[in-house]
Amino acid sequence: MGDSMSRLYALEHPLINIIAIALITIGYSRAKKLTESRSRFRSIYMFYGVAFILILSRIPWDAWLN
């Protein structure tokens, strides 16, 4: 795919968002199993934070800001 915008919409955006959703699901499931509150919230923050950064990285900002 030579066109970067087509590649973003067709491949990168859906793939990265599916990975982010999987990370959110893993983080939530892992936090349910932990008993200590500090480790529960750390697990949630880590997985949700990485997923949030992934989602923000694949938003087509040029299309939104122009």
Domain boundaries, the chain: 4-60
Beta carbons within 10 angstroms of residue 51's beta carbon: 21
pLDDT > 70: what percent of the chain?
98
3-state SS assignment for residue 35: coil
Q: How far apart are the first and last CA of the chain?
A: 24
Is residue 66's pLDDT more than 80? Answer: no
**CB of 44 closer than 8 Å to CB of 27:** yes
Beta carbons within 10 angstroms of residue 11's beta carbon: 11
pLDDT tens-digit series, residues 24-33: 999 999 999 9
Is residue 1's pLDDT more than 80? Answer: no
The pTM (predicted TM-score) of the whole model is 0.83
